[in-house]
Amino acid sequence: MRALIIDDHRLFGEAVRALLIDQGIEVVGLAENGEEGCAMARRERPDLVLVDLGLPDRDGVQIGASIIDALPDAKVVALTASTDARAVRDAIRSGFHGFLTKDTSTPRFMSAIKAVLEGQAVIPHHLGRRAAGATTPEDRAAALLAEQLTPRELDVLALLVEGLAGNELARRLSISPNTVRTHVQSILTKLQVRSRLEAAAFAVRHGIVNTRRTGRAGRTA
């Protein structure tokens, strides 16, 4: 078996590489961003791809989906710090074969990898229940509101969570301040809140955004 690791945390990636090699799995590469990972996957054609969802350049779910399209026989597994139910749902819908969190113990991690390579789908039980909708009524209501947000509005919301002011937010996303104000007003309306601070608090409380998603900044609005 041949594996590819896509993770921008080099130390963590090296640790995972060592675990796989110890189990007799050849590691063909360790990519530190999504574009590099996609290129390596197409070149090396691994049997197993482990993808961090919080990559600096592109969303990890998108990267995994691209690899699944290019290499339908490869097993793609999310290996992430995120426990957000939306991330689990997005990964499952994109065809991922497993979803593991970075706090998984070594024995459980290796057991899960073996199961995936044998054709099983692996998702921790507590995350599976959350992804299926076993949340509080408040969380379900929040999720329905958040589903209305566009990808660009989610980028803006993530930067509001980081505490950026309008002009800095505009520079980060390469859009005009007027466009920022338009996006912010749309976010407030869709989330049914009255201020940027309330929107940021809402996003944090319900796990709506991953602040690292703003690595995609630079797209047109």
* Partners of residue 83 on adjacent β-strands: none
User: From residue 33, how far is each of 58, 60, 100, 145, 153 by CA, in Å?
Assistant: 8, 9, 19, 31, 23
- 2-131 shares its CATH topology with 139-216: no
CATH assignment of 139-216, among 1.10.10.10, 1.10.357.10, 1.10.510.10, 3.40.50.150: 1.10.10.10
Task: Provide the pLDDT for residue 137.
Answer: 66
Task: Provide the pLDDT for residue 182.
Answer: 94
Task: Provide the pLDDT for residue 210.
Answer: 56
Task: Provide the pLDDT for residue 98.
Answer: 86
| Topology of domain 2-131, CATH | Rossmann fold (3.40.50)
- The residue ranges of the chain whose pLDDT is under 70 are 124-137, 139-140, 210-221
pTM over 0.85: no
Ranges of each domain in the chain: 2-131, 139-216
Task: Provide the pLDDT for residue 215.
Answer: 40
Task: Provide the pLDDT for residue 163.
Answer: 79
Task: Provide the pLDDT for residue 202.
Answer: 85
